[in-house]
Each structure stands twice: as C-alpha cells, then as structure tokens.
Amino acid sequence: MSGATGAGATAARVTELPMAKALNAGLRAAMAADDRVLLMGEDIGPLGGVFRITEGLQAEFGARRVLDTPLAESGIVGTAIGLAMRGFRPVCEIQFDGFIFPGFDQITSQLAKLTARHEGTLTLPIVIRVPYGGHIGAVEHHQESPEAYFAHTPGLRLVSPSTPNDAYWMIQEAIRSNDPVMFFEPKSRYWPKGTVDFDAPAAPLHASRVARAGTDVTLLGHGAMVSVLLQAADVAESEGTSAEVIDLRSLSPIDYQPILDSVHKTGRLVVASEAPGFVSIPSEIAATVTEKAFYSLEAPVLRVTGFDAPFPPARLESTYLPDVDRVLDAVDRALVY
C-alpha cells in the first residue's frame, strides 16, 4: 500500500487491486466486523470459488462460516432465508449468472416478500452475489444478464459495482443492509486493477455517480458497460463531442437525480446494457427520463443493448454485446436531431 507519512500522520491505506481481490477484502472486513456474517455457495471453501472471490476465507474463518454447499441454488437461497430468520446475515454466491434460475422461486416468491408479509417485523439481511455479463468467452448460462427479472420484483435491492473501490465498499454496505440485496458483479471486470481506498468510503450504496463530466450527451450504464462508455467518451472527445458518463451503480432503487441533472445539461441520453433491450432496465430509465425531463431533451432517449435473442456461442459474443462503435453510433444519432 502507498501513502506518504510524517510526524503524527497515518499512512494512507490506498492500493491497486483487481475487483476480485477488492471483493475478497470487502468480504473479509465484513466477516471480521460481525460474526453473524457467513458465506454460502458452490466450491467457495478450499477452492475459493470459480473466480477465487472467497479464496482463503474458509481457512481464516472456518468451515462453519464459509460453507461449501451442494449444487442446488434453490437450497442455497432457502437455507439462507432460514438462517436470516434466526439472526444470521448470509451471503450467497451464485456460481454463474445463468445458474440463478433454479433459485428464482425462493428469491421472488419468498425472499422478496417475507418482510412485507410480516408487516416489517421480520428482516432478511441476505446478500446474493451474482457474477454476470459477457466478455469472458464462455457458453450460455455463463454470460447472461438477468438483472431486469429481479429489478421488476418489489422487496429486493439491486446494485452493481463497476470499479474495485466500489466493489470493496458496496459489498460491505450490502451486507449491513437489513433488506435483501442482489449484488451483481461484472465478471469481465474481475481482473483489471483499480485504486482502492480503504479509508474513504465510496458513494452511498444506492447513489449514481458521474464518472466523467461532459456537456453534449449523457452516457449511462452499469457494471462492465461503464468502462465501454468511458472508452466511447474518449473517442467522442477526439471527434469534438463532450460526453458525460454516469455509473448507475444501483439498479433498484435508481438514483435519478444525477441522471436528470445531466440530461437537463446535455439534452441527450444514451443508455447502455449488455442485457436484451426489450422490457429492460434501459427501457425503464428511458421512460422515466422522458416523463421527468421531456422539455430538456433535444433527442429521444436511445438504448444500446444486447439483442433480443439467447446469448450466442462464445465466438459471436462480440457481435451480440454492445461495444464502443455501437455506443458512438447512438451518440451520432442523438446529435443529428
């Protein structure tokens, strides 16, 4: 870790970490701070999970707090609900995004509804970690983006970090929440490094953030799409267009104020997501921004998404997933209105 020290000063705890290691550090901090926190998932013990997010945690905290489970997502979530009812704070790992559907009934029929069913007297502080999205050259059920299913379900909170610093702080905030949190981790961003400040907390869990200031068009996305949007903004700047990039961070609830402030300034909005575009989070944002900022818009809100088709074989993923060129094409269309 780096940081200057002097007489009476403390070293700044800042370092460069990939998101995978930042998540590991965040889970470790949460487990050290509260012995009610326990981890559950397939191969998360000695192996440390397929992406090694939980590496070393079972050795440190023991097999009673880092539980290797059977290959049964419904059982993982259902057991976590029972544990939460008895005062624990479980963190479930779904090994890959497409594996979440066997647990869909427990999540949407039970986890999302039990607090309301008990009129608020029962809380379920459960985090469900979901590695999601493409760009890793895998097969179907390993590169999907199922966020919209859960954002549509009242009673669940949904967040997705795009940077290692956000990952470190947001996983701890999610674990402290007394509501169920779906924690979507962009697996293609697990390995690139970024700055993690262990002393300065990130923005609040459900706050959007301006990742890059601009004046001509607003680019909005979450997870892995944020890095694509920042690359597109660089290219746009070289062509004379100033793009503001907003990292959504929270998918439910959505923090609209930074988005609306930006649209009032730029008059144009492009929303990007790896998920199919039909009945999607970008669709909801487009509708809401049109309702709330109609008179500031100089062009329709445009969406850049995956296609409305099952995720293709790995060799076709670059055609399916939104890239810089597709984002810039939307920017050009927005500017000609």
On whether the CB atoms of residues 305 and 282 are closer than 8 A, the answer is: yes
Rounded to 10 deg, the angle between the 257-266 and 281-292 helix axes is 60
> Where on the phi/psi map is residue 171: left (φ > 0), alpha (ψ -120 to 50), or beta?
alpha
| C-alpha to C-alpha distances, 157 to 28, 133, 227, nearest whole angstrom | 22, 19, 23
Would you state the torsion angle of the CA atoms of residues 214, 163, 221, 172, taken in this order, to the nearest 10 degrees? -120
Q: How far is CA 83 from CA 58, 121, 127, 313, in A?
A: 19, 16, 12, 38
- In whole angstroms, what is the distance from residue 218 CA to residue 238 CA? 16
243 close to 214: Cβ distance less than 8 angstroms? yes
Residues 166/117, Cβ–Cβ less than 8 Å: no
Q: Which residues pair with 183 in a beta bridge?
A: 129, 159
* Structural Rg of the chain based on CA atoms: 20
What backbone phi and psi angles, to 5 degrees, belong to 304? -120, 110
Which residue is associated with the tokens 């999610």?
Answer: 174
Is 10 exposed, middle or buried (CB count within 10 Å of its CB: 0-12, 13-18, 19+)? exposed
- Catalytic positions are 142
- 135/187 Cα distance (integer angstroms): 8
List the structure tokens of 2: 């780096």
Euclidean distance between CA atoms 310 and 287, whole angstroms: 25
In DSSP terms, 291 is beta-bridged to none
